[in-house]
Structure formats: C-alpha cells, structure tokens
Homo-oligomer: A and B are copies of this chain.
C-alpha cells in the first residue's frame, strides 16, 4: 500500500500517518519527491491483528488512511485476492465434473478442451426439457443447463418450478448422461440443490450475496460464478475468493455481459474478460452469449468470438419453441439454430488449436 500525501501536507500530517500505521502494527517508508511525499506501507502479512487480516494489509486500513488529514490518496499495490490470483497459483485450475456421456465419465473445464453447456433457460415441462436435452446432447453438448429457481426482476414474473424442476433435471441426467448445471439463489437451498445438481450456478444478481458464496464455498460442488452486471474484475475475483477461502476450489467464472448505455442489447458482452481473466487468475472461464446479448441473432457470432478469444466453455440457452418460452424467449436459440451453429464452433476451435469435448 502506498500513501500519497498532498503537496500541501506538513510534517505533522506525515507523522500522523506514520503513527497511525504503527498503531496497526505496520511501518511507513518515506520517499520525498520534488512535489510531494509518498509513504510506502510495510508490514508482515497478517500483522494487523484485525479480523480477516490474512490476504495482505486489511483493506479497512486503507480506507481509514484515506480519511487522514492531507492524504491525497491511497494506492494498493497488492491484489486483494490471493487464492484466485494467477500470481500465487500459476498453473491453470481444471475443474472436474462427473458426466456419464463422456469417455472416462468426467468432463474437465479449464483444460485444453472446450465444453458445451446447453439447455432451456428455465425448466418448464418434462416434455420441453427432454426434447431440448435430447437435441443438445445429439449435437455434442455434455452438460445440461436449466433453471429451477429463477430470479425475476418483477415479483409478478415466473420464478421457476423449484424442486419439481430439479427432479426433472435429474431425470434428464439419467436419460442422457449429461451433467446438470442449475442456479441456486439462497443459502438455505444449497443443500437441496446439491442433491440434484452437478454444478451450482450463482447468478449475476447474487455475485455479491456473501452468505450464499460462503455456503456454496462449504460444499465441494463445482460452482459457476457469473459476473455481476456492473462489477469490476477485482470484485468478481473477490467474490470467487469468498468461495475459495471456504475450501471449495472448484470455481468456474462466467462472463455474461455487463450493463452499458446501449439498449439494443440486454447486456454488452465483454469478450476481453476472457483473455484478461486468464492473465489475472488460474480459474477457468466460460461464456454465456444468451444472457450476454439477450438476442437470439447474436448468440452465434458471440459464441464464435468467445472461442476465438479463448473461452473454456459456452453456456447457451436452447428452446424447442422459443416463441412459447415463459421466460427469456428472445434470447433462446432454436434447436435448428443450435444445430447450424455447432459446425462453426468446431471450426473456430480447431483454428485456434482446441477442440470441443463431445463424448
């Protein structure tokens, strides 16, 4: 941490900072520049004694420093996340998911192969789910997505079938051998969802629902953590750190678009998140072009762009009859569109030296 003093700061102001640091078990290293003084903050990791002081200097120290007289600003030089950081864990994390439909019975996310996850936005009926599952499995998807608990902006919107939806998903797994990914929205549902799901999904609105992150962190299930719709990379990786710090190392990040001024699309997909997260973190990252754009006609191009940029997987909404979908109809592709997209996905993957795992 570096404390930058105002050019008008006095010796008393500087001493104030030094004293503050010492009170918290840290020390200050002065650098006098032409215009101003900067103070490097030194201290053994965890020296502060404050709650949660592992992971570098307590962030609360920085906030308090900002409030001291004639402090211009405080610059952190260490990243606030450790377990999620590539610096402290240089090798790629590969998350293993049991999936009967592939050789060896395990899908690996974050390795050399790309994984296709597809299925309806929301589980509506057995017929809808089974039809979609059969179709996407046939095309090469190895993980089935489907929402049983749905966040709805309006209290009057459809909120999912709940456990009944989970049971249908389990039935589809039995029939098609695909692993199941589904969303969990609140801590008390985690145990139940774990009974049915192979991957827990944390939605964009819950990226900073810390008690939910703690709870999924206490399981050992793979967790897909979607990016908050206006979050920075640092906040996203700190959310991952919540899960990791509880002992669950099976975290997969998912770029699903951010909110921007543009209203032609529901969200603006940040494809640069894919290569950048790969540099900042060792965790796998997948892409959700359905939520990421909110438009069926953009799912194809954004799937291909994601693969070209290095994504480890795609999460695509497919519906047998999107016109009748109860939720997110506009962003689900048809089975036919999905069928047409797959050869292009294979071709772009091959162009960058990767392949899709399909069996």
Contact = CB atoms under 8 A, between A and B. Distances in A.
A25 interface: no
Contacts of A80: 153-154, 156
Contacts of A274: 301
A305 B271 contact: yes
A247 to B, nearest CB: 12
| Assembly stoichiometry (copies) | 4
A288 interface: no
Nearest to A43: B34
A359 B31 CA distance: 52
B275 A157 contact: no
A313 to B, nearest CB: 16
Given A4-B77, A241-B155, A309-B305, A260 B263 contact: no
Contacts of A332: 67
Contacts of A229: 230
A110 interface: no
Contacts of A298: 272, 275-276
Contact of A352 (B20, B232, B348): B348
Contacts of A38: 2, 40, 77
A59 B150 CA distance: 14
A324 B64 contact: yes
25 contacts: A2-B2, A4-B77, A33-B40, A33-B42, A33-B77, A35-B78, A38-B40, A50-B326, A51-B326, A52-B158, A53-B156, A54-B156, A56-B156, A59-B154, A63-B325, A64-B324, A75-B75, A187-B188, A258-B260, A261-B261, A264-B276, A264-B280, A272-B298, A279-B297, A305-B305
